[in-house]
Structures are given as structure tokens and as C-alpha cells.
């Protein structure tokens, strides 16, 4: 049963091939059995899940048919879940039972989904290896010596290992797409403002977006349809109807104009990944797409700009973790300053502290113009690159990551080399456009992802392209051996 996709589960539940209680029970047993090897869950909420599954079955029996009624999922542990531990992968929230539900959590509940628990992640979503979690690193099911990517590494590992059919994730600089690529999943970061950020613990507010991670584009369409939408509680949420993502999946690709940015295929890219990406291009051509070389000249500036803007916003967003109203408080603070300094020093991990320091520095008197303002100007250049590119193409295609999944601990001592892994994904966050990663084959038994970038609110188009590709290929159906 655990091999079923989310769409197949929805159909199976509808056809009463199995009940939500049976399915949920089976998956919980599998998590208990398998997750010790992956560490993908921080909290498994078995009792709640079984109760919700029973309730879903009862609603089904009464003739109700919400789109995800009884379908099991799990949430990245930065979505607040009322009464359930919400840690953000941090010691500073190790005891935080959120007193409310995030909008994404509430919407998925409303659609009938059953949450099995909370998924591991890089602390405060800062990282691309899932090694910075207070609750320990997550292992990649394709090779448990390797990282699953991050920061939504728990989501990626759990879905890739068939512990759950789909999960929520968030993406500030690639945190959905990069782990999806490294674990053979499909994941989409929607347009900024498409998915509500209410209850999604902030890393960098102007870059963060929630989105789905699953094995197929169809599952992502199903989940995103339930997650997306206007939310009056989020001032940056966009008041625009949500497209019917499932309806556009079947659209033929004839006439699709694909742009290949030359900067995405330059030095730093593993040539074996480049080959896989070009093979995808060939396949899409067969489906009727035309291909054009384009340029996104400011790509290389994205990393410095991102590593100013994200830490700057984070340094302010994370000030509320002060040991006063919630979360970790140090033992016996001798005065107020001691309370602040020790609670935060003991509660945050190294990478979080580094980014807070960088952000504090970038905003401090005398450096604001040279760092923060400069980065924002570059941000506009990057956005302008996309605006002109999308005048001539419908989607932009390239690799999701420059390298394959690396070994745990390999980049531990060198944050800068880990930052460079984000090169292809962060531009979408800086510009606010949607980006999707889908399976594109394997190199040395490790998954490779290809990234599709679309214009604002073109999530439907990206899912359509990925779905059509998945109709003629089976990379996405490959499962890691041993899981």
C-alpha cells in the first residue's frame, strides 16, 4: 500500500479499496520500522492520526468527498500545528507546542488530509543538507551515507522512502527543489504569495514559500491545489483565484517554448548532470516543445545577494526567540542580558547563529548601503533578467543542483561551499517566480533533478510540463532499494 501515489490513494479511498484507518495504520507501522534509518520525522502523531483517519472514514461513509479526505501526509516541522510540537528543527523550540494551526495546516485538514506527524528539517530552514537540525541529520534513502538535501530534508526522505505519499515543505532558496532533486521527487515552490505564510515559522519573509513535495507532478498538483489560496492573515498573500492545477496537467506540450540559460550550464556543474538535463530537453522536444538559448546574466550575483537578504531578514525574524514568552530559556539567568544571550546562544545552532550574525552585520550602521541596499539592487537585476527572458519563452529549464547528493559531514566545516550548492535555485526566490524540480535520471545510483522555472502564477504550466514528461518516462517511479 505504501507504494501508492497520493492520487492513487485518493482514488482507492474513493473506491473504498481500503480505509484511511487501514492505510494510516500501515504507514505508521512502516515509519516505526524504517525511520530509525532515516530520522525523517521529529514527531510522529500516531494517536491523532488514527483518530483523524477514523473521522475521515466516518465522513466518507456519510457521503462526504473532500479532495484529500483520509489521505495521509506530514508537515515540515515549521508549520505550526495546534497542540503538537513545532520545533523548526531547533533546540530553542524543542518544547514548543504551537497554540494555533498554520493556514496550510488548516487548509489541508479542511481538505480531509490526515497528518502523521512533523518532519525533520535544517534548523530554521537554514541549510541544504539537513545536517543542522537539533534533532540530528536526516539520511538520504538512496544512500544513507549521504545527505537528502535541505532544508526540507525530512519531507524529502520520508516521501522518497515511501513512508508517506506526499509532504509539505518550504523553499526560501531551494529548500523544496534541491532535496526533491537529491531524492528523486517532484517538488514545486509556488509564486511568492500563492501559499499563505501564516503559521509558517519565518526564515526570510520576502523569500519563504510553502509548497508540496511528492513523487509525481500529479500529486503535487493535488496537494498544491489544497494548500494555495488567498489568506487575509498574510499581508503578502495574493488575492487571485487558484488555477485548477489538475485540469491543466493533460494539456499537450506542442508549441511550448523552453529557454535554456547558458549560465546554468557553465563551470561548477557536474557534466553528468548536464547530460541528464539535456536528455530531458530531447524528450520534451519529442513532445512538441521548441528550445531556445537564453541568458540570465546576473545568475552569479544571486548567491551574494541572497546571502545578504536572507540573513538580514532572518536576523530580525529570529529576535523573538528570546526565552521570554515561549521556547527554550537558559537555567538561572543572572540578569536580563544573561537571559537573552545564554538562551539564544544555547538555543540556536551554529549555522543559525552565523546567519544571524551576518544579517545583523549587513543591517548595521555604516554597512546597510554597501550590503543590504546593494543586495536589493541586485535582486532587481535578477528579476529583470527573468522578466525579459519570459518575453520569449514559456518555461526556463536547467539543472536543479550543480552536484549529486554529498556525503554526510562532507561540507560541515565549510559553510561557503554549501552555500554555492544553491546557485540554481535561489534566483526563483529572489524574483518570486515559481520553480519545480522533477526526476531526470540517475548518476552512480543517485538521483538527478531538472528544474523548470515559470513566469508569475504559472504553477499550472510547470506541473503540466512535468506531468507530460512523467507520462513518457519512469524516472519518478524508481524507488530506493531497501525502502
Partner 1 sequence: MAIERSEVEKIAHLARLGLDEADLPRTTETLNNILGLIDAMQAVDTDGIAPLAHPLETTQRLRVDLVTEANRREAYQAVAPAVEDGLYLVPKVIE
Partner 2 sequence: MQWETVIGLEIHAQLSTQSKIFSASATTFGAEPNTQASLVDLGMPGTLPVLNEEAVRMACQFGLAIDADIAERNVFARKNYFYPDLPKGYQTSQMDHPIVGKGFLDITLEDGTVKRIGITRAHLEEDAGKSLHEDFHGMSGIDLNRAGTPLLEIVSEPDIRSAKEAVAYVKAIHALVRYLGICDGNMAEGSLRCDCNVSVRPKGQEAFGTRAEIKNVNSFRFIEKAINHEVQRQIELIEDGGKVVQETRLYDPNKDQTRSMRSKEEANDYRYFPCPDLLPVVIEQSFLDDLRSKLPELPPQKRERFESQFGLSTYDASVLSASRELADYFEAVEKTCGDAKLSANWVMGELSSLLNKEGLEIEQSPVSAEQLGGMILRIKDNTISGKIAKMVFEALAAGEGSSADEVIEKKGLKQVTDSGAIEKMLDEVLAANAEQVEQYRASDEAKRGKMFGFFVGQAMKASKGKANPGQVNELLKKKLEG
- Respond yes or no: is residue 151 known to be catalytic: yes
Nearest Cα to Cα of residue 396 among 263, 266, 243: 263
Round to whole Å and give the CA distance between 11 and 205: 37
101-160 residues in contact with partner 2 (CB under 8 A) are: 102
Q: Does 201 bind partner 2 (CB under 8 A)?
A: yes
214-233 residues in contact with partner 2 (CB under 8 A) are: 232-233
- CB 207 → partner 2: shortest distance, Å? 8
State the Cα angle at 338 between 332 and 339, rounded to 5°. 65
Q: Does 202 bind partner 2 (CB under 8 A)?
A: yes
- CB 358 → partner 1: shortest distance, Å? 6
Cβ-based neighbours of 333, under 8 Å, separated by 6 or more: 323, 339, 342, 343
Among 20, 43, 86, 144, binds partner 2 (CB under 8 A): 86
Pick the closer one to partner 1 by CB: 110 or 414: 414
Q: Does 465 bind partner 1 (CB under 8 A)?
A: no
Angle subtended by helix axes 46-61 and 20-34, to nearest 10: 160
Round to whole Å and give the CA distance between 174 and 39: 21
423-462 residues in contact with partner 1 (CB under 8 A) are: 429-433, 456
**Chosen from partner 2, partner 1, none, partner binding at 95 (C-beta under 5 to 8 Å by type):** partner 1
143-202 residues in contact with partner 1 (CB under 8 A) are: 192-193
Among 3, 14, 95, 471, binds partner 1 (CB under 8 A): 95
353-392 residues in contact with partner 2 (CB under 8 A) are: 360, 363-365, 368, 372
Nearest Cα to Cα of residue 355 among 391, 396, 306: 306
Q: Does 348 bind partner 1 (CB under 8 A)?
A: yes
**Chosen from partner 2, partner 1, none, partner binding at 197 (C-beta under 5 to 8 Å by type):** partner 2
Provide the 8-state DSSP code for 152.
S
Pick the closer one to partner 1 by CB: 12 or 432: 432
Considering only 2-10, 110-118, 314-322, 460-468, which stretch makes contact with partner 1 by CB under 8 A? 314-322
- CB 307 → partner 1: shortest distance, Å? 6
**Chosen from partner 2, partner 1, none, partner binding at 313 (C-beta under 5 to 8 Å by type):** partner 2
**Chosen from partner 1, partner 2, none, partner binding at 323 (C-beta under 5 to 8 Å by type):** partner 1
Nearest Cα to Cα of residue 246 among 234, 270, 228: 228
Pick the closer one to partner 1 by CB: 65 or 319: 319
Query: Partners of 400 in the beta sheet?
Result: none
Pick the closer one to partner 2 by CB: 323 or 399: 323
- Respond yes or no: is residue 107 known to be catalytic: no
Burial 137-169 (b: 16+ CB within 10 A, else e): bbbbbbbbebbbbbbbbbbbbbbbbbbbbbbbb
Nearest Cα to Cα of residue 307 among 173, 473, 146: 173
Cα separations in angstroms, 325 against 322, 334, 418: 8, 18, 34
Among 157, 358, 405, 452, binds partner 1 (CB under 8 A): 358
Provide the 8-state DSSP code for 85.
B
- Respond yes or no: is residue 76 known to be catalytic: yes
CB atoms within 10 A of CB 81: 24
Cα separations in angstroms, 152 against 165, 169, 174, 402: 15, 6, 9, 18
362-401 residues in contact with partner 1 (CB under 8 A) are: 362, 364, 367, 370-371, 373-381, 383
H-type alpha helices, 35-93 = 46-61
Q: Does 85 bind partner 2 (CB under 8 A)?
A: no
Among 238, 260, 310, 408, binds partner 1 (CB under 8 A): 238
Nearest Cα to Cα of residue 97 among 114, 83, 78, 112: 83
Binding residues for partner 2, rule: CB under 8 A, are 78-80, 86, 88, 93, 96, 98-100, 102, 197-202, 204-206, 232-236, 312-313, 315-316, 318-322, 324-326, 336, 340, 360, 363-365, 368, 372
Q: Which residues are the active-site residues?
A: 76, 151, 175
Amino acid at each position: 500500500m505504501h507504494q501508492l501515489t497520493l492520487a492513487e490513494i485518493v482514488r482507492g479511498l474513493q473506491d473504498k479499496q481500503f480505509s484511511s484507518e487501514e492505510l494510516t495504520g500501515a504507514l505508521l507501522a512502516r515509519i516505526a520500522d524504517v525511520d530509525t534509518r532515516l530520522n525523517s520525522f521529529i514527531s510522529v502523531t500516531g494517536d491523532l492520526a488514527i483518530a483523524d483517519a477514523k473521522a475521515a472514514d466516518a465522513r466518507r461513509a456519510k457521503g462526504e468527498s473532500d479532495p484529500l479526505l483520509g489521505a495521509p501526509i506530514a508537515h515540515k516541522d515549521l508549520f505550526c500545528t495546534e497542540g503538537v510540537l513545532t520545533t523548526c528543527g531547533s533546540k530553542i523550540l524543542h518544547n514548543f507546542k504551537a497554540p494555533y494551526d498554520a493556514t496550510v495546516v488548516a487548509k489541508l485538514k479542511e481538505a480531509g488530509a490526515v497528518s502523521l506527524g512533523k518532519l525533520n528539517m535544517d534548523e530554521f530552514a537554514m541549510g541544504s543538507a539537513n545536517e543542522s537540525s537539533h534533532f540530528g541529520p536526516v539520511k538520504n534513502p538512496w544512500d544513507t551515507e549521504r545527505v537528502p538535501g535541505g532544508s526540507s530534508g525530512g519531507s524529502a526522505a520520508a516521501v522518497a522512502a515511501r513512508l508517506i505519499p506526499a509532504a509539505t515543505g518550504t523553499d526560501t532558496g531551494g529548500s523544496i527543489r534541491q532535496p526533491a532533486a537529491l531524492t528523486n521527487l517532484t517538488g514545486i515552490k509556488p509564486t511568492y504569495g500563492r501559499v499563505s505564510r501564516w503559521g509558517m515559522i519565518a526564515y526570510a519573509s520576502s523569500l519563504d514559500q510553502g509548497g508540496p513535495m511528492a513523487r509525481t507532478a500529479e500529486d503535487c498538483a493535488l496537494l498544491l491545489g489544497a494548500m494555495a489560496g488567498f489568506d487575509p492573515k498574510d499581508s503578502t498573500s495574493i488575492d487571485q483565484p487558484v488555477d485548477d492545477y489538475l485540469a491543466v496537467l493533460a494539456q499537450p506540450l506542442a508549441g511550448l517554448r523552453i529557454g535554456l540559460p547558458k549560465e546554468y550550464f557553465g563551470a561548477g556543474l557536474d557534466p553528468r548532470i548536464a547530460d541528464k538535463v539535456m536528455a530531458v530537453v530531447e524528450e520534451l522536444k519529442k513532445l512538441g516543445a521548441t528550445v531556445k538559448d537564453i541568458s540570465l546574466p546576473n545568475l552569479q550575483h544571486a548567491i551574494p545577494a541572497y546571502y545578504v537578504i536572507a540573513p538580514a531578514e532572518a536576523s530580525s525574524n529570529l529576535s523573538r526567540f528570546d526565552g521570554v514568552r515561549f521556547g527554550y530559556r537558559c537555567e538561572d539567568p543572572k540578569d536580563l542580558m544573561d537571559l537573552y544571550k545564554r538562551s539564544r546562544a544555547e538555543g540556536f545552532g551554529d549555522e543559525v547563529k552565523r546567519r544571524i550574525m551576518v544579517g545583523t552585520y549587513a543591517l548595521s550602521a555604516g554597512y546597510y548601503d554597501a550590503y543590504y541596499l546593494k543586495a536589493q539592487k541586485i535582486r532587481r537585476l535578477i528579476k529583470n533578467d527573468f522578466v525579459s527572458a519570459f518575453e520569449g519563452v514559456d518555461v526556463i529549464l536547467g539543472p536543479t543542483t550543480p552536484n549529486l547528493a554529498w556525503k554526510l559531514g562532507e561540507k560541515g566545516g565549510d559553510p561557503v561551499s554549501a552555500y554555492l550548492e544553491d546557485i540554481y535555485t535561489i534566483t526563483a526566490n529572489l524574483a518570486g517566480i515559481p520553480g519545480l524540480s522533477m526526476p531526470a535520471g540517475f548518476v552512480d545510483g543517485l538521483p538527478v533533478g531538472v528544474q523548470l522555472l515559470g513566469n508569475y502564477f504559472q504553477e499550472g504550466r510547470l506541473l503540466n510540463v512535468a506531468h507530460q514528461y512523467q507520462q513518457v518516462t519512469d524516472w519518478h517511479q524508481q524507488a530506493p532499494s531497501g525502502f
